[in-house]
A = this chain, B = another copy of it.
Amino acid sequence: MNIAGTTHTAQAGQHSPNTGLTGLNREVRVVQRATGIPGPEVFRVGEAPRPECAADGVLVRVLYASVDPGMRGWLSAERNYFHVADGEVMPAEGVGVVIESRDPRWQVGDQLFGRFGWQQYAAAGAAQLHWRIDPKIAPPPVWVGSLGFNGLTAWVGLRHLGRPRAGDTVLITTAAGAVGSVVASLARASGANVVGIAGGPAKVRRCLDDLGYAAAIDYKAPDLARSVVQACPNGVDVYFDNTGGAIADAVFAVLNKGARIVQCGTTSVASWNPPPSGPRRERDVLVKRLSWCGFVITDHADLFPRAFEELKDLYVRGALAADTQILDGLDAAPGALQYLYSGANHGRLCIRP
């Protein structure tokens, strides 16, 4: 199983100029709300003076910044757990190297995981700084993905809410994605039978060849419901759902008694305002004794130490999906979410600003 690799994709066709020496900072700001998938009209790439290090903070040069499906919700006018204000630099988790420090916990040269945004330089205080990464264990983009919030999200969703036992069938949507692929690694480590749903033959192939799935289904192919039944002859005990919508409908039919549904995302539905109609679930929840739980990773910081322990251990043993894809330059940023939602990416998508 070859599950750690990095692809560099110079999607914009050119590198951004390194403006560090000039005292300038290239940055991507949000200029309007998005309806549906945020496209280039939502952002503006520009230059501004390099930010100043705060009295108790650090200044970092951003090495990698994440492109995350959840950003759609941050940019939407609909209710969400977090919103970006117009005019702000687009927030994003990333890895930066400290180039100036006024916080005794961090030294120049430290590589930190934090909320640095889509920009080249970031002044960050305690609220934006998550933790120091160890580039000897894994390269920085992995710390944005499988050893960052993607991995933690997979761990909390699966271990805290899904709780698979050996022999259970775990079904995962966006199976080849940054979270789904780590869920598969964790579920395999539990001795579960792991089945994936992904979009298109290439992703299905990747699930089977690279990500350790026992079976994988292309939701774009005809008769999804029948494919799910065939791929899950013993039903489904844990449904790790990143999509919702019609894909979820096909899975509900095969959920076993006592199944756990982990609602991690809802990417298959373009707009939730108002919510679209679907089959009512009250009777399924009752008769099958389902447990259907949503979560947002930032609520679960207390679980991170336990999560890191298992994630790092699996990574070191080569058993953690940790593929990454890099977009070179901030000019690629305004189109990055459309690219992500097109499904053409694979693994953890990052911008190298």
Bound Cα distance from A21 to B292, whole angstroms: 54
Bound Cα distance from A287 to B294, whole angstroms: 7
| Chain B residue with the shortest CB-CB distance to A264 | B286
Q: Establish whether residues B244 and A283, one from each chain, have CB atoms under 8 Å apart when the complex forms.
A: yes
A263 within 8 A of B: yes
Minimum C-beta distance from A36 to chain B (A): 14
Find the residue from A73, A278, A286 having the highest chain B CB count within 10 A: A286
> Which residues of A259-291 are within 8 A (CB) of B?
263-266, 269, 272, 274-291
| Chain B residue with the shortest CB-CB distance to A252 | B275
A99 within 8 A of B: no
Q: Establish whether residues A294 and B286, one from each chain, have CB atoms under 8 Å apart when the complex forms.
A: yes
Bound Cα distance from A282 to B272, whole angstroms: 9
Find the residue from A80, A274, A277, A289 having the highest chain B CB count within 10 A: A289
| A to B CB contacts below 8 Å, 6 in the list | A269-B283, A276-B279, A277-B279, A278-B280, A289-B294, A289-B295
Asked whether A294 and B299 contact (CB < 8 A) given A263-B285, A277-B277, A282-B266, the answer is no
Minimum C-beta distance from A148 to chain B (A): 20
> Which range holds the interface residue count of chain A?
35 or more
> Which residues of A72-96 are within 8 A (CB) of B?
73, 79-81
| Chain B residue with the shortest CB-CB distance to A268 | B282
| Chain B residue with the shortest CB-CB distance to A277 | B277
Q: Establish whether residues A288 and B294, one from each chain, have CB atoms under 8 Å apart when the complex forms.
A: yes
A299 cross-chain contacts in B, Cβ below 8 A: 289
Minimum C-beta distance from A235 to chain B (A): 14
Minimum C-beta distance from A294 to chain B (A): 4
Q: Establish whether residues B286 and A279, one from each chain, have CB atoms under 8 Å apart when the complex forms.
A: no
Asked whether A292 and B289 contact (CB < 8 A) given A280-B244, A283-B266, the answer is no
Bound Cα distance from A285 to B275, whole angstroms: 12
| Chain B residue with the shortest CB-CB distance to A278 | B280
A316 within 8 A of B: no
A40 within 8 A of B: no
Bound Cα distance from A275 to B282, whole angstroms: 9
| Chain B residue with the shortest CB-CB distance to A287 | B81
Asked whether A241 and B279 contact (CB < 8 A) given A287-B79, A289-B294, A293-B290, the answer is no
Asked whether A248 and B282 contact (CB < 8 A) given A287-B81, A289-B299, A299-B289, the answer is yes
Minimum C-beta distance from A261 to chain B (A): 8
Q: Establish whether residues B266 and A286, one from each chain, have CB atoms under 8 Å apart when the complex forms.
A: yes
